[in-house]
Structure 1
Amino acid sequence: MQRYSLAAIFLHWTIAILLAFQISVGWALEDLGARGFALFQLHKSVGITILVLTLARIAVRYWKPRPAPVEGGWQGALAKTVHAGLYLFMLGAPLTGWALVSTAKVKVPTLIFGVIPLPHLPLPISAHELAEGGHGLLAWIGIALFLLHVAGALRHHVLLRDGLIWRMMPARSPVLLVLLPALVLGGLVLGKAILPAPAPKAAAAQPAALNAMDAMEGAEAAPAPVGNKVEAADNAATSAADNVAAPEETPLGPPPPWAVQPGGRIGFSVGNGGETISGSFSRWTAKIAMDPDHPESADIRVDIDLASASVGNAYQDGMLAGDEFFGTAAHPSARFVAKGAQKTGANGYRASGTLTLKGVSRRQSIRFTLSGSGDRRKVSGSATIARAPFGVGNGDSSSGLDPSVSVDFSFSAARR
């Protein structure tokens, strides 16, 4: 019996394995939220790979002679229909997926396997729902065709015993007859095996706390994680602290200005389904005037270039700049301004001011410590910032993120 060419056989089984993997992974992505980000990128890479291999399979189909059909009638017509449907599925599913990410509100850059950049298709955002619906529908159709194709192969090999399946084997070997279908099944198993573990259930108190936060007009921050309760309390007490009478002792003159030295850092971290995403801003400036002995006269202003945010992953960095997170096109920077500070310990201080982010201004407090003496000091501190009031992480891909983001900073300053 005439076989398909080795090129056609190789492409057939490779595409089958990749399709099994895609089907296994694809249905779980919708429920993973932010935890499935890396898997989503892999899903896109494998999808484009299937598209390329399918185009190669079509070229081989017309380049190399194919075995003649062995069955006519309605059975032969059904077999041809299933084969044609599979080709449409293998082309249409990757193309609608490509269109889906190209028309999404949040433009996530695509690097095929982290190496080859894939441009977005020039499609209007209004086509997003059509692409999303088409992608889902094709997935169901593809599964049905996949099962019909397998059923047809089993019918010929087990019931008709006509040896048709050997045409798609590189050799008439019982080992290959078991191994190649097993690899397809392995694609299904692998897709399930690499799914992230289920996210831990949130504490019962958390939804109540979030509802309270939404109901409190003008609230300064969301409830902080357990490790940051002190900072959250600082934010909640800001308005009251602003009404406290100024200390009787005041500085004799304006506070001295300080110049921030190179090498400082502003970092951030947020929980993500039991894991932690950490990053930093590489570009920021600070103007500080403060007398450590008279902190009530402090004047602090920090400007952060939001486009410089990075978590060390090109895909996620691209998302940070999008509207779902920082929206850097419309709001390129964030600013924190505080007039005055309070001493909280021997070297500890708290500054209550205003944070402006994505066009929203909210009361915010920071805590920091000073070390050293004289004209050179080291500064380190932290803050806990609620995402929701600023609209940071306002999409489906952010559903697994904790409601509060921890910010830390450290730098050296010299008195001017």
Structure 2
Amino acid sequence: MQRYSRAAIFLHWAIAALLAFQIAVGWALEDLGARGFALYQLHKSVGITVLALTLARIAVRYWKPRPAKVEGGWQGALASGVHIGLYAFMLGAPLTGWALVSTAKVKVPTLIFGVIPLPHLPLPAAVHGLAENGHGLIAWLGIALVALHVAGALRHHILMRDGLIWRIIPARSTALLVALPALILVGFVAGRAILPGPKVAPAPIAAEPADETADETAPANIAEAVNAADNATANVSAAAAEDTVGPPPAWTVQPGGRIGFSVGNDGEAISGSFSKWTAQIVMDPDHPDSADMKVTIDMASANVGDSYKDGMLPGDEFFGVAAHPTATFVAKGAKATGPNAYRARGTLTLKGVSKPQTIRFTLAGKDATRKVSGSATIARAAFGVGNGDSSTGLTPTVALTFAFTAKRKD
């Protein structure tokens, strides 16, 4: 009996195993929320691989024509219809998935297996609902078609005993007859095996001591970072000031400082920092009520060390950089809470929302140079940071830390 070409046989079983993997993963993605981020990226990569292999399979079909049909009548017509439907499934599922990602409100970059960038399709946002519904419908239709295809193969091999199945096996070997179909089961089991385990309650982020209503109104990591930077720099300048009360000195933040943030994510932590920020600080550490601070952060400079997540941060779900490129913290006055320790209350403006914000910081050193370090706790929801489906696993508060050196201006 004439067989399919070896290229066609390879592509047939490779695509079948990958589809089984996709089905196993796809069933779980919707319920995973933020925990499924990495798996979602893998699902996209495998989907594009299925699309590429299907196009190759179509090319091979015309380069190496398939064996002639062995059955006519309605049974043959049904078999042909199932084959056509399977090709539509193998093309339609990844294409609708690609369209879904391309039209999503939050633009998540796609790197195929973390290496090859995949551009978004130039489709209007209105297509998103259609792509989402179509992707799910095609998946279920595909499962039904696969079941019919398998039933047909078993009918020929077990009931009709016509040896039709040997056309898609590279050699007449019982071992291959068992091993190749088993790849489908392996693909499905692998897809289930890599799913995250049961959701674990996230470890709370260490909060600072309660400060009346300050921490409750604290909005975003970035804001706190900004406040911390300002207060810290202000304190530094004050500490360097002379004993005599006079105009408070201004301070310059030196290169090498850092504003970092961390948020819990389903029992793990996502940590990052802002690489671009400036601070205008005037303060006498001995008279902290003289503080006058303004910190400005470039929101597009946020980085968590992961290309996928970094690509999400500027979107509307998180920082909304297109409409609100910067966040600012402004504070008038600070209060000493202990030796070289201070608290500053001000206003944080982030994503167009202004809320009260408090930071705490300490100073080290003396005279014209001071080292500043501090922390804050920010309630992200107050600013609409993390307001989408991919943020469901994030903790409500974000921990902010900062450290830098400031020098008094002459």
Same fold (TM over 0.5): yes
Indicate how the Cα distance of structure 1 residues 237 and 291 shifts in structure 2: closer, same or farther if over 3 A, else same: farther
3-state SS of paired residue (1:402): strand
Deviations 1:355-380 (A, max 9, x none): 10000000000011111111111111
Match of 1:129 in 2: 129
3-state SS of paired residue (1:330): coil
Using the TM superposition, give the Cα deviation of residue 226 of structure 1 relative to its aligned residue in structure 2, in angstroms. 6.1
3-state SS of paired residue (1:366): strand
Contact 2:217 2:378 in 1 (8 A): no
After TM superposition, list the pairs within 5 Å mapping 1:175-324 onto structure 2: 175-201=175-201, 225=204, 227-230=206-209, 233=212, 235=214, 252-324=245-317
Using the TM superposition, give the Cα deviation of residue 233 of structure 1 relative to its aligned residue in structure 2, in angstroms. 4.8
Match of 1:42 in 2: 42
**Structure 2-normalised TM-score?**
0.90
- Once structures 1 and 2 are overlaid, which stretch shifts more, 285-294 or 46-55? 285-294
Runs of 4+ in 1 over 6 A off after TM superposition: none
Using the TM superposition, give the Cα deviation of residue 349 of structure 1 relative to its aligned residue in structure 2, in angstroms. 0.9
CA–CA distance in structure 2, aligned partners of residues 231 and 93 of structure 1:
52
Match of 2:365 in 1: 372
Alpha-carbon RMSD across the aligned residues, in angstroms, is 1.8
Is 1:155–2:155 an aligned residue pair? yes
Deviations 1:302-332 (A, max 9, x none): 1110001011111111110001100100000
Amino acid at match of 1:107: K
2:386 to 386, 393, 400: 393
3-state SS of paired residue (1:344): strand
Deviations 1:186-240 (A, max 9, x none): 111111111112222579xxxxxxxxxxxxxxxxxxxxx462051565615889x
After TM superposition, list the pairs within 5 Å mapping 1:87-106 onto structure 2: 87-106=87-106
Percent identical across equivalent pairs? 75
Deviations 1:60-82 (A, max 9, x none): 00110211111122211111111
Q: Which runs of 5+ in 1 are unaligned?
A: 204-224, 240-249
Match of 1:5 in 2: 5
Contact 2:274 2:297 in 1 (8 A): yes
Amino acid at match of 1:403: P
CA–CA distance in structure 2, aligned partners of residues 233 and 126 of structure 1:
46
CA–CA distance in structure 2, aligned partners of residues 35 and 316 of structure 1:
13
Match of 2:396 in 1: 403
3-state SS of paired residue (2:207): helix
Contact 2:106 2:312 in 1 (8 A): yes
Indicate how the Cα distance of structure 1 residues 226 and 275 shifts in structure 2: closer, same or farther if over 3 A, else same: closer
CA–CA distance in structure 1, aligned partners of residues 85 and 106 of structure 2:
32
Match of 2:80 in 1: 80
Indicate how the Cα distance of structure 1 residues 317 and 236 shifts in structure 2: closer, same or farther if over 3 A, else same: closer
3-state SS of paired residue (2:338): coil
Contact 1:277 1:311 in 2 (8 A): yes
- Once structures 1 and 2 are overlaid, which stretch shifts more, 284-293 or 351-360? 284-293
Using the TM superposition, give the Cα deviation of residue 122 of structure 1 relative to its aligned residue in structure 2, in angstroms. 1.2
Amino acid at match of 2:207: N
3-state SS of paired residue (2:385): coil
Match of 1:357 in 2: 350
3-state SS of paired residue (2:172): coil
Q: Which has the higher contact order (CA 8 A, sep 6+)?
A: 2
Indicate how the Cα distance of structure 1 residues 317 and 327 shifts in structure 2: closer, same or farther if over 3 A, else same: same
Contact 1:35 1:272 in 2 (8 A): yes
Deviations 1:373-411 (A, max 9, x none): 111111111111111110111111111111111111111
Contact 2:208 2:377 in 1 (8 A): no
